[in-house]
Structure 1
Amino acid sequence: MGRRPVYIASMGTFALGLLVSGVSPGFGGVLAGRFLQGLGASGTLPLAQAIAYEGFGARRGRMLGLISAAFGLGVVAAINLGGGIYTALGWRAVFLVTSVLAALGFAVSTLLPETSTARRRPRYDPGGTIAFGTAIAGFMLLFKGLATGPLLSWEALPYLILLLAAGGAFLLLETRAREPMIDLSLFRNRGFTGVILASLLGGVGMFIFQTFLPSYAQLLLGYSVAQAAYSIDVMAAFMIAAAGLTGIACDRFGPERVLLFSLATTALAFYLITAIPAPTWAYYLGSAVAGVGLGSLMPPSSMAAIREAGPGREGISSGLVSLSRTLGGIIGPTVGGLILARTNFSSLFALANILNSYRNIYRFGLWTVLAGCGVALFLLAVRKKEVDGR
């Protein structure tokens, strides 16, 4: 089929989902629209990265950086414009205005050239697709259940069973499929597996910052909801700048070195936001450094994964990197929520207890990202050995 028609279909599905949510008379219709938005959005970033990698040769790192910068710019615009649109025109207008913007993106996507060189249309793997989707749903629901009960409670145990059953079925189906949805032999490549693991650990750090930073500003600095929302623009601005520069660095120094820089910088941000005694300095300096670290995460991880997977696997490798980062985004906030749930809110020192819980969340993020640094060092050593052996 090629990447171009799938990308166009993804953009169209996303725009349609926004429109459905905006015009729906009830909550069910809004949810249906949100489902379409998620379905469409899931394909846009991985496919854009695959197209950039295959279509721009020696400049692929720069293009991947620009894609990440555009992604960050969209996040900033959504935060700053979404609140104003909601206040002035209501919630429906948020969906309707963004549906127009998405429709423009759909129109532009029709101008993209086809970059795939595959001559034969691959077979669809329905069994693997269903089993994989069910396993991912089980993973998400498991962590939702863990937010309210222990692993062996009725809140979590059914989803653990679902995850294990669907995951086992997926592995069985993929090993027997003539053309599997995901070629499991990819994970025999230490470089590819390492990038996926580093992306997962980096995703934990990324979503901890994005999820808890606004509420931390309210508690630490006494900000209102609006002030807290706008305060994360500092992190977002540094993310955009770092993403663009990171792409150039990937072309010059290689993605493994840049990935190590990204994770080490994110670890430094977690340390700064908890260690500096002056609250304002801790918050804004930590946010700025986090923006540099998180903004430089996507280009090197995507570039390294696509390279390790080899020609013809650009789409699936980029998609797996995005998926691993998203799974990290489930783990990080869930663990953070569990830490907050253990806070003593009834004592005279409730505010101090809450702030201490937030610091524990950031310490969890610090150790997780430091583990990612270890993986990045391993990737750097593996790559150096490969280059020296040629």
Structure 2
Amino acid sequence: MSAVSSSAPSAVESAPRPAREVLPALSGLLLGMFVSMLASTVVSTSLPVIIHDLDGNQTAFTWVVTATLLTTAISTPVWGKLADLVNRKLLIQLAIAIFVLATAAAGFSQTPEMLIAFRAVQGIGAGGLAALSQVIMADIISPRERGRYMGLFGAVMAVATIGGPLLGGVITDNWGWRWNFFVALPFAVLALIILQRTLHLPPRAKRKVHIDYFGIVLLSVAVSLLLIWVTLAGDSFDWWSTETILMVGGAILAAVLFIVVELRSKEPLIPLAMFRNRTFTLAVIASIATGIAMFGASVFLSQYMQLARGATPTEAGLMTIPMIAGLLLSSIGVGALITRFGQWKPYLIVGSVLLIAGSYLLSTIHYDTNFALVSLYMFLLGAGVGMTMQNLVLVVQNTSKPSEIGVASSGVTFFRSLGGTIGVSVMGAALATSVTNLVADAKDDLTAAIVSLGAKGAEVAQQLQSGSLPKVSAMPEVVRVIFEDIYAQGISHSFLIAVPFAVVSLIAVLFLPNKPLTRMTTSERIQASEADFATVSVAEGMEVLAHVEDESEDDAAMDASSEASSRR
């Protein structure tokens, strides 16, 4: 029995799928990811201009980002669970449709509230793309072989993450920011067509589906209350107040009820038993810090370039290239090294160290810091994100049961998105508080600068009193320098918040079990386990049959002995 069962996996592992079979299936998936990334990155550099034009303040700026991250985080485990229950191809097509239609609708926003609402719907689709892309990759590519294809994903990331902000800046400066929300539509239609024609996943056994609706509602309530409290506390109400007690208490109660529901559910949204897996638990902890660094940097570096260095949206897109370069080079290079040598842990450790270094160094920047140094700091942070982001999902998929690949992958992605959501909320709240305090401290200097402008000073004063996010690049120089210094200090202090989380991430990575990567895809692992089960069943059947035959022989011998005795 052991010989048969051990040979099945090795036979599967010895024959990795050729590229000509994998590439057509990946083409639609790659384009779907490109649509998702382009629709997000093309808006990043124009967001300060958008909030200014819609008369929004710093809180509105934070919530435009947080709304997307929040619904992405909440919907990710839902999509992941659905991926274990229903057709994955249909799910990813649905996710693309939701994402792009909501993105297009956001282009018609007239108020910050409308934009926030459409961005929240957009996050639902983004959660599906984040979870399902990882699950489908595990269906068609083994963990060990996945690095071979990281170059393709790196190319897609390069075009979307570098080209997106640049394209967004050019569109904003020449045709207006609303066109940024429409640019992804043709790519989305093409992605849906290609997915339909090229993505052919192995058939899955049909079974009755149970959706954990109570779990979805309770998780949404717990996370939403926590983020609303973080965003509004200290501004709309005091940190220690009745509102704080109600929101934090409600979040804790919803979280406790969520745990109770998950323990009783037939198909839990997040199977809590998975936290018994040491790899899953530690990867979740590490993913939180990665999410804070990744989302926090992408949001607030764009603000730093425009509000602290007076850059236009196009210039801001160019100035963030060092971080994207670090992310791309590290993710592509490490992916290739993992495939070649099969070792993953050293790269995760180095990536976690770079997260700490990048986050800390960015907390020291000022409005006049040499841009070469700022570029180096961004590169280090990007390299840290590139080494940790995908590889944490990879090691979890490598140790999870084939039947739980969906919830395992989406679980790590969920906590990464949750970490990013909380990180952006906390960093945004800290930035808003810092800016308010620094503006109050600089009141005398601002008054003197405005008075020196003469008649034009009244117009500047009116803009500042409106409370909307200022357009620093358009301010007179004497006022612009003051605001650049204020926003530089506020943003740099916000980056300091990410440092302790990055340290915790490093500790978690150090304790991750260093298990070798398998060469089997999820489908092949399911086939191998079914083959093992069949082998065990046959062996047990043979043992039962042999036992029955032995008993029959014993009975026959006893009958013969009794007959002989009676004859005597």
Length-normalised TM-score, structure 2 = 0.61
Report which stretch shifted further, 22-31 or 173-182: 22-31
- Point out where structure 1 has 5 or more consecutive residues left out of the alignment: none
Q: CA deviation at 1:121?
A: 4.7
Query: Which residue is 1:244 aligned to?
Result: 332
Q: Distance in 2 between matches of 1:85 and 1:204?
A: 29
Q: In structure 2, the residue corresponding to 1:100 is in which secondary structure?
A: helix
Task: Say yes or no: does 1:83 pair with 2:169.
Answer: yes
* Paired residues of 1:69 and 1:239 also in contact (CA < 8 A): no
Task: Give the Å deviation of 1:146.
Answer: 3.3
User: How far apart, CA to CA, are the structure 2 residues paired with 1:119 and 1:332?
Assistant: 40
Match of residue 319 from structure 1: 410
RMSD (Å) for aligned C-alpha atoms: 3.3
Q: How does 1:237-316 map to 2 (within 5 A)?
A: 237-251=325-339, 252-273=341-362, 279-316=370-407
1:228 Cα deviation from its structure 2 partner: 2.9
Structure 2 residue 233 is the aligned partner of structure 1 residue 146: yes
CA contact (8 A) 2:308 2:485 kept: no
Deviation at 1:202, TM superposition (A): 1.7
User: 1:350: how far off?
Assistant: 8.3
Change (3 A) 1:271 1:174: closer
C-alpha contact (below 8 Å) 2:323/2:378 kept by paired residues:
yes
What CA distance in whole angstroms lies between the structure 2 residues aligned with 1:123 and 1:328?
A: 28
- Among candidates 195, 205, 217, match of residue 130 of structure 1: 217
Take 2:184 and 2:118, find their aligned partners in 1: how far apart are those partners?
A: 13
Secondary structure class of the residue paired with 1:236: helix
Cα displacement (A) at 1:219: 6.5
Whichever residue aligns with residue 127 of structure 1, its letter is F
Contact 2:109 2:115 in 1 (8 A): yes
Q: Is the 8 A contact 1:272 1:285 kept in 2?
A: no
Is contact 1:66-1:243 (8 Å) kept?
Answer: no
- 1:87-130 Cα shifts (integer Å, max 9, x gaps): 43334432222222222222222231224645435422222222
Change (3 A) 1:293 1:28: closer
CA contact (8 A) 1:62 1:246 kept: no
Aligned to 2:179: 93
Shift of 1:184: 0.8
Match of 1:330 among 410, 421, 435: 421
Whether the 8 Å CA contact 2:169–2:313 is kept in 1: the answer is: no
Identity within the alignment, %: 25
Give the distance between the partners of 1:271 and 1:79, measured in 2 at CA.
Answer: 25
Task: Establish whether residue 186 from structure 1 lines up as the match of residue 274 from structure 2.
Answer: yes
Between 1 and 2, higher relative CO (CA 8 Å, sep ≥ 6) is seen in 2
Aligned partner of 1:375 in structure 2 is: 508
Greater mean deviation of Cα atoms: 148-157 or 198-207: 148-157
Instruction: Measure, in 1, the Cα distance between the counterparts of 2:221 and 2:319.
Output: 37
CA distance in 2, matches of 1:147, 1:74: 37
Is residue 2:299 matched to residue 1:211? yes
2:560 is aligned to none
Work out whether residues 309 and 484 of structure 2, in 8 Å CA contact, stay in contact via their aligned partners in 1.
no
Report the CA distance shift for 1:171/1:32 in structure 2 as closer, same or farther (over 3 A): same
Among 92, 114, 118, the residue aligned to 2:201? 114
Shift of 1:222: 5.3
Distance (whole Å) between structure 2 residues aligned to residue 65 and residue 152 of structure 1: 50
Q: Output the CA distance in 1 between the equivalents of 2:326 and 2:517.
A: 33
Deviations 1:156-205 (A, max 9, x none): 44332332222122111111112222211001112101100100012122
Which amino acid in structure 2 is aligned with residue 54 of structure 1?
D
Q: Are the equivalent residues in 1 in contact too, given 2:173–2:313 (CA < 8 A)? A: no
Q: Report how far residue 68 of structure 1 moved.
A: 6.2
Distance verdict in 2 for CA 1:28–1:205, change over 3 Å: closer
Aligned match of 1:16: 101
Q: Mark the CA change 1:67 to 1:321 in structure 2 (over 3 Å): closer, same or farther.
A: farther
Q: Supply the distance in 2 between the matched residues of 1:28 and 1:353 (Cα, whole angstroms).
A: 26
Distance 1:329 1:155 in 2: 24
Task: State the shift of 1:253 in Å.
Answer: 4.1
5+ long unaligned stretches in structure 2: 1-85, 446-481, 519-568
Distance in 1 (CA, whole Å) between partners of 2:404 and 2:150 is 16
Please identify the structure whose Cα radius of gyration is greater.
2
1:4 aligns with 2:135: no
Structure 1 pair 215/24, CA: closer, same or farther in 2 (3 Å)?
closer
The amino acid that maps onto 1:269 is G
Judged with a 3 Å threshold, the aligned counterparts in structure 2 of structure 1 residues 189 and 174 are, in CA distance, closer, same or farther, namely same
Question: Residues 192 and 305 of structure 1 are in contact (CA less than 8 Å); yes or no, is this contact kept in structure 2?
Answer: yes
Matched residue type, 2:248: L
Quick one: which amino acid aligns to residue 375 of structure 1? A
